[in-house]
Structure 1
Amino acid sequence: MTERPTLDRSDTRVTHAEGIGGQVSAFIDRVKAGDLGSLPVIVGLVIIWTIFTLINPIFLSSNNLVNMLFDCSTTGVIALGIVCVLMLGEIDLSVGSMSGVASALIGVLWVNGAFPLPAAVITTIVLGGAIGTIYALLRTHLGMPSFVSTLAGLLALLGFQLWLLGNTGSINLPYGSWIVNFGQLMVMPDWLSHALALVPAVVMLWAGMRTMERRRAANLHAGSVGGLIVKVAALVVGLQVVVWYLNLGRGVPWMFGVFVALVVIMNYAFTRTKWGRSMMAVGGNAEAARRAGINVRRIYLSAFALCSMFAAFGGVLSAARLATASQQAGTGDVNLNAIAAAVIGGTSLFGGRGSAWSALLGIIVIQSIANGLTLLNLSSSLRYMITGGVLAIAVIVDSLARQSRVSHGRA
C-alpha cells in the first residue's frame, strides 16, 4: 500500500501562484496569515506623502527629496545597526551617544590631532565595535539586561563626548574638505545613478532563475518565469523613474548610495548566510538555538558589535553632514529616530523577525514627517507627537500580525 503524498500549506500557496492573478492570490494568503512584510509602512508612506503634497506641493519637488535623502543617510545607518539587536529581542539605547562620540573623535583626531582622515574614521569604528563587545559580554556572561547595560553606556559615552570636546564644546570641520563635500554636496553622475538603478533588477532576475533551477532539480514547483519577469520589469521601471525625477534636481546623493549599499550587504547577510539564519533562530528562541548547536554567545557578540559600529559610522556621516562636531551631536531625538525607524520599517520588537530594508523604509517615513512639518513651519513638538503615534501604530500592527501568525499556525 503506497503512502499518499502530503502537501503543506506553503506548498499549496506556491502551487496556486501562477501568473499575475496567482501572485495576487498568494499575496492575499500571506497577509491573512499575518505575513504583512513591508505593506503597512508602504501604505503609511503613501498616506504621509499624499497629505503633505496636498498641503504643500514643494514637498515632492525633486530638490526637496534630494535633501531628504541626505538627511536619511545619517540616522538610517544607525537604524541599520539597531535592526541587528532587535532581531535578537534586545535593545541598544546608547547608539545616539555612540554616534556623538564618533563625531567628536573625528574633530579631535583629524582637525586638532592632525590624524589622517581614514585613520580617524577607522579608529571611531573600532571603538564602536569595542563598546558593543562590552555590552555583549555583560549580556552573555553576567546576564545583565541590554536595557540596563546600554543605558549605563549612554551616560558614560555622553560624559566621554563632553570630555573630548572640552570647554569649546564644538569643533568645526574644514569647509571644502572631502568629507564635508561628501555630506553636503556630492551627488552621482546621471548615467551612473541610472546604471546602479538597474543592479537590483539584475540581481532579482539572477536569484529568481537560480531558485527556479534548484526547485526544478528537486522536483518542486518552481513558479512562473512570466511572474518573475513582471516583477523585474516593474522594479526596473519604478527605480528608473525615481532616479530620473531625482536627477531633475541635484541628483542622487553619494551618501545615500553608501547607505543603500550597506542595506544591501546586510540584507544578503541576514537572508543568505549561516550567520543570518542563526540570528533569526536565536531571536526566536535562544535556548532552542543553543540546543541546535548555534553559538549563541558569538551571535550576541556580533550583533552588539555591529550595532555600535554602525552607530559610530553614522556619527561620522553626521559630522560630515553638519560640518561640525558638537556637544549636541547624537543627543535629542537621534536614539528615538533610529529605534523608531527599525520598528516602523517592520523589524519586530519581539525578536526573530526583521530585515535590513526596514531601516531604509522606516527612516524615510520618519524623515518625511520631519521634512513635511518643517516645510509647514510647524513646531518640533508636533513632530514628536506624530512620530510617537506612528511608532505606536507600528508596534500594534506587529503585535497583531504576530498573534495572527500564531493562530494561523495552530489552525
Structure 2
Amino acid sequence: MSASESARDALAIAGYRIRDGAAALVERTRSGNLGVLPVVLGLAVIWTIFQILNPVFLSSTNLVNLTLQSAAIGTITLGVVIVLLVGEIDLSVGSVSGLASAVLAVSLVQSRWPLILAVVAGVLAGTAAGLLYGFLYTRFGIPSFVITLAGLLGILGVQLWVLGESGSINLPFDSWLVVFAQQMFLPAWASYVVIVLAVAANAVAHLRTARRRERANLTYQSTRAIVLRALALLGGLGVAAWYLNLSRGVGLSFLFFVGLVVIADFALTRTRWGRAVYAVGGSVEAARRAGIRVDRIYVSAFVLCSTLAATGGILAAARLAAVNQSSGAADTNLNAIAAAVIGGASLFGGRGTAWAALLGILVIQSISSGLTLLNLDSSVRFIVTGAVLVLAVIIDSTSRKSRAAHGRN
C-alpha cells in the first residue's frame, strides 16, 4: 500500500469517527442527556462577552480573585446540590453559614478557644441544624421548603443572639484561618504535581471501571479513549495552572473547595450511599421497595447540606476577617441555590453531579466579577443572574421532557 493510500485510509477513518461522534452528540441532545455542555458553553459565552467589554476580565490577577471568591459560596453550593439530588431543598444555607461564622468568632475572639475547637464548634452548629431538619422531615413529613424557611428565620435569630450587642467581631489577621483564606497559595511546581496526580488517579479509576464493565460484558470505554481524555485534561488543567501562576497562583482555599467536590463526586458515584441518593431522588417508592433506608438518606442529605453550609460560612468569615449581623445574609442563599441549578443539578431530583457546584459558582462569580469591572449597579447583577437561572431551569425542564419522550419511544 502506498503512502498516499495509507493517508487516505487514515483520513477516512478519522472522518468516520468524527461523524459517529457527531451522531452520538445529536442523539444525546435529542434524548435530553446534555450533561455539562450547556454550562460550559454558557461560561464560554459569559467570559467572551466580558473580555470584549473589559480586557482585564480574563487577566490572571482577576481570575485568581475569582477563584478565591468562589471557595466559600461554592462550598455552600455543594451542600445544596446534595439535597437537590434527593428532590428536596434547603432555604436556610445562608443563615446556617452566618451562625457558623458567629460561633467561630465568639469562640475564637471572645472566649479565647483554640482555633481548631472554634472551627469544630462552628461546623457542628451546622450539623445540628441538619439533624433537626432531617428529624422534622422524616418524623412529621413537613415539606423541606417549610422546614428550612422556618430555619432561615430561626437560625438568623440565633446568630444575632450569639453575636450579642456588638453585632460585629473582627478575626485576628495573623490567625492561620485568615491567612489560609486570603494569602496561602500553592507554589507553581506544587500546582503541577497536584494536577498530574489528580489526572493519573482519574485515569486509573476510569481504567478500573472499564475493566469491570468488560468482564460483565457491558459497554466500556477503550483504553485509548481514556488515555486521550486524560491527556486532554492534563493539558487543559496545566494551562490553567500556568496562567494562574502568572499572578499569585492557585489559592489553597479554592483547592480545598475543589477537594470537597472530588470527595463528594466519589461518594455519589462510587459508593452504595451515592447510588441510594440518586435512587431516592429518582423515585422514592422504587427506592423503598428496593430495600433502601429512605429516611436515613434524607437525614444524611440534610446533615451534609448544613455541614457544608457551615464550612462555607467559616471560609467566608476568614476571607473577610470579620463576622457581623449580615454574615450569611444578603444574596448568599440565592447565589448558592442558583449556582447549584445553573451548574446542572435538577430541581426535580435524581440528576446532577458534585461538579455542578464548581461549574455553577464559576458562572455566578463570573457574572458578578464582570459586572463589577464594568462599574454597573448591583441591580444589574441580580437581573442577569435571575435571567441565567431561569434559562437553566428551562433547559432542565426541557431535557426532562425530552428524556421522558425518548423513553416512551
Distance 2:22 2:198 in 1: 22
1:164 match: 162
Q: Which residue of 2 aligns with 1:351?
A: 349
Aligned to 2:324: 326
Please tell me the residue identity of whatever aligns with 2:348.
F
**Alignment-derived partner of residue 150 in structure 1:** 148
Q: Deviations over 1:267-304 (max 9, x none)?
A: 00111111011001111111221111100110011000
1 CA distance for matches of 2:17 and 2:220? 12
For residues 201 and 28 of structure 2, the distance between their equivalents in structure 1, rounded to whole angstroms, comes to 24
Cα distance in structure 1, aligned partners of 2:158 and 2:213? 54
- Alpha-carbon distance between aligned partners in 2 of 1:194 and 1:32, rounded to the nearest angstrom: 39
Which secondary structure does the structure 1 equivalent of 2:169 belong to?
strand
Q: 1:223 to 1:319 in 2, by over 3 A?
A: closer
In 2: Cα distance, 1:375 partner to 1:344 partner? 22
Q: Distance in 2 between matches of 1:254 and 1:81?
A: 20
Q: Indicate the SS of the match to 1:174.
A: coil
SS at match of 2:314: helix
> Where does residue 102 of structure 1 map in the other structure?
100
| Superposition RMSD in Å | 1.2
Q: For residue 174 of structure 2, give the secondary structure of its aligned residue in structure 1.
A: coil
Q: Deviations over 1:164-196 (max 9, x none)?
A: 111211000011221111111111111111111
Task: Tell me which of 278, 281, 293 is aligned to 2:279.
Answer: 281
Task: Go from structure 1 to structure 2 and tell me whether the alpha carbon gap of 1:107 and 1:279 turns closer, same or farther (over 3 Å shift).
Answer: same
Indicate the SS of the match to 1:171. strand
Say whether residues 1:360 and 2:382 are aligned partners. no
1:7 is aligned to none
Displacement of 1:325:
0.8
| Residue 127 (structure 1) shift | 1.7
When the two structures are superposed, what TM-score results if normalisation uses the length of structure 1? 0.94
- The answer to whether the 8 Å contact 1:20/1:227 transfers is no
Q: Which residue of 2 aligns with 1:10?
A: none
How far does the alpha carbon of each residue in 1:67-91 deviate from its partner, in whole angstroms, 9 at most, with x for none?
1101000000000000111111111
- Do the aligned partners of 2:104 and 2:121 also contact (CA within 8 Å) in 1? no
Extract unaligned runs of 5+ from structure 1.
1-17
CA offset digits 1:214-272 (Å, max 9, x no partner)? 23323344343222222111101000000000000010000000000000000001111
Q: Which residue matches 2:314?
A: 316
Q: 2:91 aligns with which of 80, 90, 93?
A: 93
CA distance, structure 2, for counterparts of residue 230 and residue 25 of structure 1: 20
Query: What code does the residue aligned with 1:272 have?
Result: R
Letter in 1 for 2:87: G
Q: Distance in 2 between matches of 1:271 and 1:124?
A: 29
Cross-structure match for 1:13: none
Cα deviation digits, residues 315-350 of structure 1 (max 9, x gap) = 100110000011110000000000001000000000
Aligned CA distance change for structure 1 residues 399 and 221 (closer, same or farther; 3 Å): closer
Distance 1:385 1:36 in 2: 26
8 Å Cα contact 2:99-2:125 kept in structure 1: no
* TM-score (norm. length: structure 2): 0.94
Distance 2:171 2:125 in 1: 21
Which residue pairs with 1:11 in the alignment? none
The 10-residue stretch of structure 1 (248-257 or 172-181) with the greater mean CA deviation from structure 2: 172-181
Distance between the aligned counterparts of 1:208 and 1:74, measured in 2?
30
Q: Which residue of 1 aligns with 2:75?
A: 77
| Fraction of identical pairs, as percent | 56
2:267 to 257, 266, 269: 269
Partner of 2:53: 55
SS at structure 2 position matched to 1:58: coil
Q: Which amino acid aligns with 1:343?
A: V
Gaps of 5+ in 2: 1-15
Residue 21 of structure 1 deviates from its aligned partner by: 5.1
Separation in structure 1 between the aligned mates of residue 40 and residue 31 of structure 2, nearest angstrom: 19
**Separation in 2, partners of 1:222, 1:79:** 32
Q: For 1:215 and 1:356, locate their aligned partners in 2 and report how far apart those are by CA, in whole Å.
A: 23
Name the SS of the counterpart of 2:64 in structure 1. helix
Q: Secondary structure at the match of 2:56?
A: helix
Counterpart CA distance in 1 for 2:183 and 2:46 is 27
